[in-house]
Amino acid sequence: LRERLAGAQGGFGRGLLALLSRDRLDEDTWESIEDLLLTADIGVAPTQQVVDNLRTRLRVDGAEAGDPRAVLRDELIKLVDPTMDRRLQVTGADGKPGVVLVVGVNGAGKTTTVGKIARILVAEDHSVTLGAADTFRAAAVEQLATWGERVGVEVIRGPEGTDPASVAFEAVKHGVETSIDTVIVDTAGRLQNKQGLMDELGKVKRVIEKQAPVTEVLLVLDATTGQNGLIQARVFSEVVDVTGIVLTKLDGSAKGGIVVAVQRELGVPVKLVGLGEGPDDLAPFDAGAFVDALLG
């Protein structure tokens, strides 16, 4: 995973390092550094902040100019914020299952992510049930059923066009009755309008909470969508209380700076990153490992 991340993101990190390692850090160099940070989708304000910090810490005229790699590593880790709690809350209290609600627009990678999370939890000896509440896309239900078979967990589904809330209800009911640790609910991502989304996800959440606590609301975002992804993220965060972000397709995007931008935008941590289409291509996000992959 680390190699794949370095492959996609490494150009950015190594490019920065090469610029900062120049003998003379002139204005042109600082401008190039700023451009690189902006191109990676870090955002304007954070870019300014990190450039200011780097300038202060790497003044070449000063006697105590730091080692560029160490200083850059330090600044990038600060930017990603290593203090955020990125653990997934997957179990409930009082013998009830934890419920992980997975939201995001179609195509972001929700269904794939649900399958991958199930696989991780099963490997950690958790019992898992999946709810196929993306009932508007028959393909999504089939896709989730395939993941269920692959991972060896039960998938609760309804006929095409069933009310998503009723599938979510049945999935959690099954989880409660069979003392499952975690129910993961895939949802529909039709971003038709904010009110529609609010009504739909609100109802899904309410029917779940009649039976067991929603312990995580994971927003799945496609890292390749840039600013557009950030706008979607804002809409979802206004509709449900997002507790964590899953950034998918980081393998296919050189714009790892979106990690920084989306955390700032929503004030919640990136908890997982998707690095491919395969079952093992999902990793817990770690600020230090991420920055190390960037710097190569």
Site for ligand GDP, rule CB under 6 A: 104, 106-112, 140, 143, 189, 248-249, 251-252, 274-277, 281
CA-to-CA separations, 184 to 19, 73, 115, 218, in angstroms, rounded: 45, 36, 9, 10
Nearer to ligand GDP among residue 137 and residue 264 (C-beta): 137
Q: Has 116 been labeled as part of a binding site?
A: no
In whole angstroms, the minimum distance from the beta carbon of 46 to ligand GDP comes to 24
Nearer to ligand GDP among residue 85 and residue 277 (C-beta): 277
Edge to edge, the sheet with strand 154-156 lists 154-156, 128-133, 182-187, 98-103, 214-222, 244-248, 270-274, 282-284
Nearer to ligand GDP among residue 107 and residue 284 (C-beta): 107
Cβ-proximal residues to 258 (8 Å cutoff; 6+ apart), any chain: 40, 41, 221, 223, 226, 229, 230, 247
Within 13 A of 104's CA, how many CA atoms are on the CB side?
Answer: 28
Nearer to ligand GDP among residue 75 and residue 281 (C-beta): 281
Q: Has 109 been labeled as part of a binding site?
A: yes
Closest chain position to ligand GDP (CB): 274
Nearer to ligand GDP among residue 214 and residue 275 (C-beta): 275
In whole angstroms, the minimum distance from the beta carbon of 80 to ligand GDP comes to 19
In whole angstroms, the minimum distance from the beta carbon of 281 to ligand GDP comes to 6
In whole angstroms, the minimum distance from the beta carbon of 242 to ligand GDP comes to 15
In whole angstroms, the minimum distance from the beta carbon of 245 to ligand GDP comes to 13
Q: Has 190 been labeled as part of a binding site?
A: yes
Q: Has 110 been labeled as part of a binding site?
A: yes
Nearer to ligand GDP among residue 93 and residue 139 (C-beta): 139
Nearer to ligand GDP among residue 90 and residue 275 (C-beta): 275
Count the neighbouring beta carbons within 10 Å of the beta carbon of residue 150.
12
Q: Has 29 been labeled as part of a binding site?
A: no
Q: Has 249 been labeled as part of a binding site?
A: yes
Q: Has 188 been labeled as part of a binding site?
A: yes
Q: Has 186 been labeled as part of a binding site?
A: yes
In whole angstroms, the minimum distance from the beta carbon of 109 to ligand GDP comes to 3
Q: Has 157 been labeled as part of a binding site?
A: no
In whole angstroms, the minimum distance from the beta carbon of 60 to ligand GDP comes to 40
Binding residues: 104-111, 186-190, 248-251
Binding residues for GTP: 104-111, 186-190, 248-251
